[in-house]
Amino acid sequence: MQWTLKTPGDYPIEAAIHVLGDDLLVAVWGGTRPHIGAVGIAHPRPSLKDPYQVSATTSVYTVLGHKEDTVAQQMATRIASALNRTVVVTAGIHWDALTPEAIKTIVANTEALTRMIIDKAREKIGIKDCQEE
């Protein structure tokens, strides 16, 4: 099963989500030169603060010279925690000459896209609500 999502407005961010057995593969891109800048893999586990909640441990590989490591790490961690599944996120977002305001918009769009992915996954594959840490 697979689907795509896209944030509206300025600096849209897109994602293609593939369900691979019990796991999710999420490709995230945006801008004038989409690419693979970083890859994050998150494994769900019981929270260290509260073993009744789900958290995740995430590892990230960043391509030399790229800055998508935070996007890949945060998205993979949140999705894995929310869905209690192993999640891989590839991220590659690029626009030239971004202003600080544009960067804030892009960060907000990646956060909105993460929520959209979680909500749509719950709807499409019937995942019960997990308590995120």
Architecture, CATH, for domain 2-87+98-125: 2-Layer Sandwich (3.30)
Q: Model confidence over 39-92: pLDDT tens digits?
A: 999 999 999 999 999 999 999 999 999 999 999 999 999 999 999 999 999 999
Mean predicted confidence (pLDDT) in 16-23: 96
Please tell me the distance from the alpha carbon of residue 129 to that of residue 106, in angstroms, as a whole number: 27
How many other C-beta atoms lie within 10 A of the C-beta of residue 126?
Answer: 7
Q: What local confidence, expressed as pLDDT, does residue 24 receive?
A: 97
- Quick one: pLDDT band at residue 129, thresholds 50, 70, 90? low
Mean predicted confidence (pLDDT) in 91-118: 97
| Burial degree of 99 (CB within 10 A; 0-12, 13-18, 19+) | exposed
Q: What local confidence, expressed as pLDDT, does residue 125 receive?
A: 86
94, two tokens: 């690029």
Interior CA angle at 98 toward 93 and 101, to 5°?
105
Instruction: Write down the mean pLDDT value for the chain.
Output: 94
Please tell me the distance from the alpha carbon of residue 58 to that of residue 26, in angstroms, as a whole number: 14
